Amino acid sequence: MLKKLIILILSVAVLSLSFGCSSKTEVTNNGEEQSKLKVSDSFKEADKINEITLCESWGFEKGFSTVITPENNKNFGVNYYLPNFYETLVNYKNGEIVPGLAESWNISKDGLVYTFKLKEGVKFSDGADFNADVVKRNLEMIPKLSGMYNGSFALVTTLFKEIKVINDYEVEVHLNNPYYGTLQDFTKANPLSMMSPNAFNEDDTLSDKIMTETMGTGPYIYNGKINDNVYSFVRNPNYCGEKPDVDKFNVKVISDDESKALALRNGEIDMIFGATKISYDGFKEFSDEEDYDCKASHTSIKTRFLGFNISEEPFDDKNIRLAVNHAIDKQAICENLFYGIESKADTFFNKELPYCDVEVIPYEYDVDRSKQLLEESGWKDIDGDGIREKDDKKLTAEIIYIGNRTSTEELTLICSSYLKQIGMDVKITGLEMMAWYAKVQEDDYLIVNKETYDIPNDPFTSISNMNSDLNIDNAIAQGLAHIKNGNELIVNLNTLADEDDIQDQYNYILNEIHNNAAFVPISDIKELVVYNNKVIDDYIFNGQPSNVNISGIKLR
């Protein structure tokens, strides 16, 4: 620690202490050489840098665009860092929409026009002014940059009819039809956070600058690479918000979870953020040690579930899907695999989500009922080998899951063992994320281990993606695939403006999803963080807990 402190004190790579919306400072943050020059020219009075290091399995080599698609950034990891660099017009906090870059807004009675009154005096990190013209430019560029994926992450971007500038700090968004999730969509950093006008070329393409610059109004900016596997970020001198504790943060690329845990123990990093980066065994071990603090978000961020391809045998039979629902002891999984941090999920969506507090009768763990359902559908263990047969076919299945995620693999293995106990021979296959996604989209699977989308996407995004005509998520679309008018239900819901009508539609849809049994909800996931408490005093999850919130880090 002493050696580290000496290096920090002597380092010329110090940060600028100038803050505020009235700052005249222009920052060019597009690479290592420029960042060294920038830092040495500012903050000369500083004698200490409050610096921390996190880790990820991937790097930022695909740049810092706020419009992320499988074509321009396959790992999507930068999505969870965007709020550190960019801001949205409105924010999601404690289940409510609150001001962001827009200090207020109005909605027309017919739900077709949203008028945003913008904050004044805000500047981007490159010195450009934030105003209504910039908002118009950003919103009009989103469909162009999203291409075939437009609407995948925010349905409202498919509904833009016209963006009107009323004055320098007032803008109107006109929609083709009402959409009840409009404000919720506007809280999404991908794709609706605001980039500097200099992020776009005149020919309506994205500037190459965005590959090596963060061009937003958020608290931090990219400062270049320290070496081949460490990315550096420093405070944005033009940031208008409250000054964060952390002056500089680094993201070190560490490929596997065991190495991440070791790096935290030996002081290479100060924090591991994210339930996908540490096993629950590792989380429990750290929680028992006095040098580390472990926190789980109060809010459940999404639901783990198994999804069936109901167009393929044997899961085209509802009895088989119900049998699997009854065969898995979700409470035991939550207590033993997840140490009670995750809670048993009886419904596809957590009931705390908007419109989702709908009563259904859960499918409880009941092995006898599970076996009875299989018998009723003609599946019997005729030869005594423990695997059921029907019409000379064995009852077999495969569960595909995203590999390199310890908890996901363990859960998949446990689920397969439960299914073997009722006479189903189950193979599990871990795949790289894009290979896994391709199989889902091609309907080339029987069972998929999956999760719903996180806050603030759900329930809006999952429900919208149940419209199979969109062909966005075939696993999610199975929820209403059993009824002929399923797609029409979604289209109708997305045009409703009356809250009572919306809730009535949800009551019907959520009951249909449950009765169809195309999903086996397993557990409600909470976000996790582990940190060295000699360096970090506390971590505050923001309103979207899956996002890394550097401003929420409180230092010793």
How far apart are alpha carbons 468 and 124 in whole angstroms? Answer: 39
User: What's the rounded mean pLDDT across residues 81-88?
Assistant: 98
Q: Which 3 state secondary structure label does DSSP give 217?
A: coil
Residue 116 has phi, psi (to 5 degrees) of: -105, 125
Region of residue 439 (left: phi > 0; alpha: psi -120 to 50; beta: else): alpha
- C-alpha–C-alpha distance, residues 523 and 508, integer Å: 23
Cα–Cα distance for residue pair 357/510, rounded to 1 Å: 10
Contact at 8 Å (CB) between 233 and 221?
yes
Q: What is the pLDDT of residues 298-335, one digit of tens each?
A: 999 999 999 999 999 999 999 999 999 999 999 999 99
Please list, residue by residue across 198-217, b when 16 or more beta carbons sit within 10 angstroms of its beta carbon and e when fewer do: ebbeeeeebbebbebbbbbb
Q: Are 66 and 82 in contact (CB under 8 A)?
A: yes
Instruction: Give 373: exposed, middle or buried? Use CB within 10 Å, 0-12, 13-18, 19+.
Output: buried
Query: In angstroms, rounded to a whole number, what is the distance separating the alpha carbons of residues 91 and 514?
Result: 31
pLDDT for 25 equals 35
Rounded-to-integer distance, Cα 38 and Cα 13, Å: 8
Amino acid 191 reads P
- Give the pLDDT score at 317: 98
Question: Is the pLDDT assigned to residue 507 strictly greater than 50?
Answer: yes
Higher-confidence residue of 134 and 5: namely: 134
CATH no., domain 90-199: 3.40.190.10
Taking a C-beta distance cutoff of 8 angstroms, is the pair 144, 212 a contact? Answer: no
Could you tell me which of 109, 124, 340 has the C-alpha nearest to residue 238? Answer: 124
Q: What is the DSSP letter of 431?
A: E
Q: Is the pLDDT of residue 19 over 50?
A: no
- The CATH number fitting domain 2-76+208-294+528-555, selected from 3.65.10.10, 3.40.50.300, 3.40.1010.20, 3.40.190.10: 3.40.190.10
Please give the full DSSP string across 508-545, using - where no structure is assigned: HHHHHHHHHT-EEEEEEEEEEEEEETTTEEEE---SST
pLDDT of 45 over the 90 cut? no
Mean pLDDT of 53-76: 89
Segment 20-45 mean pLDDT: 38
What token pair was written down for 490?
A: 């979604």
Closest by Cα among 210, 250, 218 to 236: 218
DSSP 8-class letter at 242: P
Q: DSSP of 319-360, one letter per residue?
A: HHHHHHHHH--HHHHHHHTSTTSSEE-SSSS-TTSTT-----
112-144 confidence digits (pLDDT tens) = 999 999 999 999 999 999 999 999 999 999 999
**CATH class of the structural domain 300-526:** alpha beta
* Mean pLDDT across 79-106: 96
The total of other beta-carbon atoms located within 10 Å of residue 350's CB is 23
Burial tier of 391 (Cβ tally within 10 Å: 0-12, 13-18, 19+) = exposed
Q: Do domains 2-76+208-294+528-555 and 90-199 have the same CATH topology?
A: yes
Quickly state the pLDDT bin for 42 (edges 50, 70, 90): very low
Looking at residue 76, its amino acid is F
Question: Percent of the chain, pLDDT > 90?
Answer: 83
Q: Which tens digits make up the pLDDT trace of 181-205?
A: 999 999 999 999 999 999 999 999 9
CA gyration radius, the chain: 25
According to DSSP, the residues that pair with 429 across neighbouring strands are: 400
Answer whether 71's CB lies under 8 Å from 269's CB: no
Averaged pLDDT, 42-49: 54
Residue ranges of domains in the chain: 2-76+208-294+528-555, 90-199, 300-526
What pLDDT is recorded for position 344? Answer: 97
Q: How confident is the model at residue 492 (pLDDT cuts 50, 70, 90)?
A: very high
Q: Answer yes or no: are the C-beta atoms of 376 and 424 closer than 8 Å.
A: no
Residue 339: exposure state from Cβ atoms within 10 A (0-12, 13-18, ≥19): middle
Top-confidence residue, 71 or 59: 59
Residue type, 171: V
Q: What is the largest distance, in Å, between two alpha-carbon atoms of the chain?
A: 82
- The position carrying tokens 């096993």 is 279
In this model, does residue 511 exceed pLDDT 90? yes
pLDDT cut 70: percent of the chain above it: 91
Indicate the SS3 state at residue 271.
strand
User: How distant, in Å, are the alpha carbons of 339, 395, 411, 415 from that of 407?
Assistant: 12, 26, 6, 12
Structure tokens of 79? 């999505």
pTM here is 0.84
How many angstroms separate the Cα of 234 from the Cα of each of 17, 175, 245, 551? 11, 38, 12, 12
Does 15 score more than 70 pLDDT? no
The whole-number average pLDDT for the span 471-494 is: 93
Q: How high does pLDDT run on average in the chain?
A: 90
Partners of 521 in the β-ladder: 305
**Can you give the length of the chain in residues?**
556
Q: Which tokens belong to 37?
A: 């020059």
